[in-house]
Amino acid sequence: MSDDGAAGPVVDLGLLDPLTGPTTAAVVGDAAYLSAMIEVEAALIGAFVDIDVAPVEAEVDVAVLAAGVDLLSVAAAARGGGNPVIPLVAALRSAAPQASAPWLHRGATSQDILDSAAMLVASRALAAISADLRATVGTLADLADAHRHTPMAGRTLSQQAAPTTFGLRVASWLDAVVTARTSLRGVATRLPAQLAGAVGSATTLVDAAGGVEPADRLRIEFADRLGLEHRASGWHTDRTIVVELGSALALVIGSLGRIGLDVSLLSRTEIAEVSEGLAEGEGGSSAMPQKRNPVASVLLVAAARRSPGLLGTLAGSLLAEDDRPVGAWHAEWPTLRELLRIALGAAAAARGLVAGLSVDAERMRDNLALTDGAIHAERATEILTEQVGRARAAELVKAALDADGGFSEAILYLAEQDSQLSDTASVLAATTVHRGPVGLSNQMIDAAIVRAGAST
């Protein structure tokens, strides 16, 4: 298969998409899709051989079929029929061996070929994504365990709220990635082949196979050759599997984007609790030489902001009229491919990000002290409430927050002056010291790690 001009203007080299760029082209680029379509056509010929309808000599190697196909020519001619299968079949017919040509595209329609090829490409992409996610899961599990006792400020609505641990934050990342990977792996086992003919009844396939029973066997052999799931019925207008696939990809992209967002915020100059492990030449600015930009995090967040719109387009394709739709199917092609590309790039970037993440535990402790103990106000309120009721506890906490010298000292002083709280002062003293773990954080971290281990 020729792809002359691959460096020309028709190929996306990643100028505006540094997360994916050329690194994903081998898996989901135009050449990968074209190769998959040729594999599908070869599998169909092979399936006719498997059921003893076509002669053994008809079976053809994919490389032989692909030899006479030019990617740019097929792409240019796709406009004429509205899809790339029509010019591809014409090119294959002119180049196929004599014994194979009569069985090429026999009983199939364009959507059968392109749908099956899309699932084949997706299957390979999902394997690569899952491998990167597995590595990320392992790294996050280790990171959560290592920092289960590392105290940090928990933040809500962008403000310091109450103490937590960095290990618990990482465990939350871990849980989300495990969920996304589980969803992805579930969809990967159900990617179906498509072979249902012009209007989904497989009528000409029955004619070509010589009956209903051999046509059924042919469809099974076809799916087996491609390593895809066999479905008893076609899915030309039932696009639920495509939306499921897109949803799983969006889960992956979003869960990784959330890590990128957290890392970007925690690496701000004024927070500086974590930093990316940047390689030589990464993270620079064109104007400000002092900057170390969190590049992987930025790209992960950008990816996560792109995926919802793409998923929405796929969901819109569920509205597929008649027996093969106008436009809905066509809208899926670039949309699904883009989700695959983004997920591939995001999975690889996140793997590198978490592996090289630098954690500044001392800075986390320093930031905990920024509010002079006010970050412990919630916990102090609960402890005081047990002794003097909610209203009185709220008064004491407000007074301590308004006092000079910091909340921790003030709340202890107020407690010591109140006869009802003489036994509570020591508890408050322990509460307002920065320690870890907090609450059920250890149990939550353990649960996340166990779940991660079970998912690999």
Considering the domain architecture, whether residues 170 and 95 belong to the same structural domain is answered as: yes
- At residue 284, the pLDDT reads 47
Asked if residue 34 is part of any domain, the answer here is yes
Question: Would you state the pLDDT for residue 288?
Answer: 43
Q: Which of 90-99, 217-226, 293-302 has the highest mean pLDDT?
A: 217-226
Residue 435 a catalytic site member: no
Residue 20: its pLDDT value, please?
A: 84
Banded model confidence at residue 46, pLDDT cuts 50, 70, 90 = very high
Residues 452-456: what's their mean pLDDT? 89
How far is the CA of 211 from the CAs of 51, 207, 218, 235, in angstroms?
Answer: 11, 6, 11, 22
pLDDT of residue 413: 87
Indicate whether 309 and 378 sit together in one domain: no
Stated pTM of the model: 0.91
pLDDT of 283 above 60? no
Helices (H), 105-235: 110-146, 166-188, 203-209, 212-226
d(CA 192, CA 374): 57
Query: Is the predicted pLDDT of residue 4 greater than 50, yes or no?
Result: no
- Cβ atoms 294, 263 nearer than 8 A: yes
Q: Residue range 205-218: average pLDDT?
A: 96
Q: Which of these ranges, 231-245, 256-270, 410-424, has the smallest mean pLDDT?
A: 410-424
In the chain, pLDDT over 70 holds for what percent of residues?
93
Each residue of 309-350: pLDDT tens digit? Answer: 999 999 999 999 888 889 899 999 999 999 999 999 999 999
Active site residue 324: yes
**Assigned domain for 7 exists:** no
Please tell me the predicted confidence (pLDDT) of residue 48: 98
- 279 with 393, same domain? no
Q: Are residues 182 and 84 in the same domain?
A: yes
Task: Dump pLDDT digits (tens) for 413-439.
Answer: 888 888 788 778 778 877 777 665 688
- Mean local confidence (pLDDT), 213-231: 98
307 shares a domain with 385 = no
Q: How far apart are CA 180 and CA 168, in angstroms?
A: 19
Per-residue pLDDT reduced to its tens digit, 72-119: 999 999 999 899 999 999 999 988 999 999 999 999 999 999 999 999
Reduced 3-state DSSP string for 310-327: HHHHHHHCCCCCCCCCCC
Lowest-pLDDT choice from 6-15, 41-50, 101-110, 220-229: 6-15
pLDDT range class, residue 194, cuts 50, 70, 90: very high
- 368 and 355 Cβ atoms separated by less than 8 Å: no
pLDDT of residue 68: 83
User: Is residue 287 one of the residues assigned to a domain?
Assistant: yes
The pLDDT confidence band at residue 12, using thresholds 50, 70 and 90, is low
Q: What pLDDT is recorded for position 321?
A: 86
Mean pLDDT calculated for residue range 134-139: 98
Catalytic site residue from 94, 201, 233, 285: 285
Has residue 306 been placed in a domain? yes
At 449 the three-state DSSP class reads: helix
Q: Mean pLDDT across the stretch 50-70?
A: 94
Catalytic residue, from 324, 337, 341, 351: name it: 324
* More reliable by pLDDT, 256 or 384: 256
- Domain residue limits at 398: 374-431
Q: Among 176-180, 220-224, 242-246, 381-385, which is the least confidently predicted range?
A: 381-385
pLDDT of residue 5: 42
Angle 31-105-24 from CA coordinates, rounded to 5°: 15
- The pLDDT score that the predictor gives to residue 2 is 54
* Rounded-to-integer distance, Cα 306 and Cα 40, Å: 31
The verdict on 306 and 331 lying in the same domain is yes
Q: 251 with 383, same domain? A: no
Whole-number Å distance between alpha carbons of 247 and 240: 10
Q: What's the confidence (pLDDT) of residue 357?
A: 96
Domain total of the chain: 2
In this structure, are 93 and 138 located in the same domain?
yes
pLDDT for position 16? 84
Position 117 in a domain: yes
> How far lies 103's CA from each of 42, 44, 48, 190, 302, in Å?
9, 8, 8, 28, 46
CATH number (domain holding residue 273): 1.20.200.10
169 is a domain residue: yes
Residue 297 banded pLDDT, cuts 50, 70, 90: very high
Q: What is the pLDDT of residue 405?
A: 83
* Statement to judge: residues 123 and 255 lie in one domain: yes
Q: Is the domain of 288 the same as that of 394?
A: no
- For residue 146, give the nearest of 132, 165, 162 by alpha carbon: 165
Q: Is pLDDT of 8 > 50?
A: no
